[in-house]
Amino acid sequence: MMEKSTDMTILFYCATPINPESGGTERVTYLLAHYLQSRGYTIYYLAPFKPEISSIKSDNISTYFLPDSSGAGSPENRRFLDDLLSELKIDILINQGAWFNELYLCNHKILKTNAKIISCMHFSIDLGLAHFEEMFKSEYSWKEPLSSIKNLIKKIALPYLKQLRYKQRKRTMDFMYQYTDVIVVLSPRYVNEFKGIMKISQSDKIVSIPNPLTFPRTEVKSMNQKENVILFVGRFTYFDKRIDRLLYIWQKLQDRIPDWKLELVGDGMEKVALEKLSFKLGLKNIIFHGFQSPLPYYSKAKIISLVSNHEGLSMSMLEGMQNGCVPVIFSIDSAITDIIIDNVNGCLVKPFDLDMYAEKLYKLASDPSLLNKMQPSVVQSVEQFDMDKWGGKWIDLFRSLNHPR
């Protein structure tokens, strides 16, 4: 049993109120906060705005809200956070939105606090730059002239936009490195990428801590107990998740595996567009479940599918694998590809070859013996993300901040 520590107070800042069902970053924050609380740490949350409805899960951790929701780094928010850090006697401020505007609130340049500041990067260092053109829609229609013109302008301006995005990303990383105490990334490969971009040969400020397994250990259903379901879980957004690809892939497959279903769990700004696309493509055996707790869907599905432009360490992929789903993913620069060996504990597909992806899915769906063979390796490969192992890495990090080498 890990010893308890009761001498440290931690404030988590997250760009949205902490609802563990609403997304991967929120779920990781919730899990870490409660893990640390169970080890004797005093924990608080900070969010930029108060939700209109309460969190799905009741929480015994107090949440504070910024007074000015119009901009994280506003003078009013800076004064509020400085006062809050002092009042609560915060030892460590953990910023869960370090890639975004939250960085310009949670830093030593503007805050007067002596608390240590940890910047967490929940996405890849690349953030989609390797496949930048895939982040923008290229559909053009006389029925939607304004939208089509905007898409065309973006397409023409892609080289300039990509260069601009790279410079913005480098400025963000430079600011983060200068004005926070530790930067936490999801994979050792991201540590090296960060150092390479910043031209840093050696630094203890950049550390790797992956995401954890989300659910308690439970008995995994065998493939014979599961249903013929290919599952997607995640936000319905275009620039990163590109769920439209999965619909085109399903169009290629649906008549070849008529006893299988494609089920999508999640919500977001692209949901209506995706439902329209599904109708346009004449898709069958497809279900949009909307916003739901994903566990029952992981439990019944045989295959978990991801078709993103970029990922960090996908929570939905880890969760699916923990529950015995065989993963299929494009071999993008993602930490998840570090643990998948093609045709052993999952399938990797060349980005963004939809025909090859469809063939990989067909091979799995049409061969029950292959799914049965792969499932034990799938489950075993994610045991390294066990909650206690993961939580111990965070506690070791906190101790190193209190007692620097």
Domain spans of the chain, in order of start: 9-127+169-210+386-402, 229-385
Q: What pLDDT sits at residue 125? A: 79
Same fold, 9-127+169-210+386-402 and 229-385: yes
Fold (CATH) for 229-385:
Rossmann fold (3.40.50)
Q: What pLDDT sits at residue 309? A: 85
Q: What pLDDT sits at residue 140? A: 43
Q: What is the four-CA torsion angle of 160, 165, 171, 175, rounded to 10 degrees?
A: 160
Q: What pLDDT sits at residue 30? A: 92
Please give the average pLDDT of every successive group of 10 residues along the chain, which has 405 residues: 66 87 82 94 92 61 91 91 97 91 92 96 72 58 62 70 80 94 93 89 91 86 98 91 96 98 95 96 97 94 94 88 96 79 95 96 98 97 90 94 66
Q: 233 has which bridge partners?
A: 265
Number of Cβ within a 10 Å radius of residue 68:
16
Output the CA torsion sign for 397, 400, 401, 405.
negative
Q: What pLDDT sits at residue 378? A: 97
In Å, what is the CA distance from 173 to each residue of 102, 185, 195, 198, 261? 13, 12, 10, 8, 42
Q: What pLDDT sits at residue 133? A: 63
Q: What pLDDT sits at residue 53? A: 59
Q: Which CATH architecture has domain 9-127+169-210+386-402?
A: 3-Layer(aba) Sandwich (3.40)
pTM of the predicted model over 0.85: no
Q: What pLDDT sits at residue 353? A: 96
Q: What pLDDT sits at residue 71? A: 80
Q: What pLDDT sits at residue 98? A: 87
DSSP alpha helix (H) spans, 180-270 = 188-198, 243-253
Question: Measured in Å, how far apart are the chain's first and last C-alpha atoms?
Answer: 26
Q: What pLDDT sits at residue 271? A: 95
According to DSSP, residue 269 is labeled T
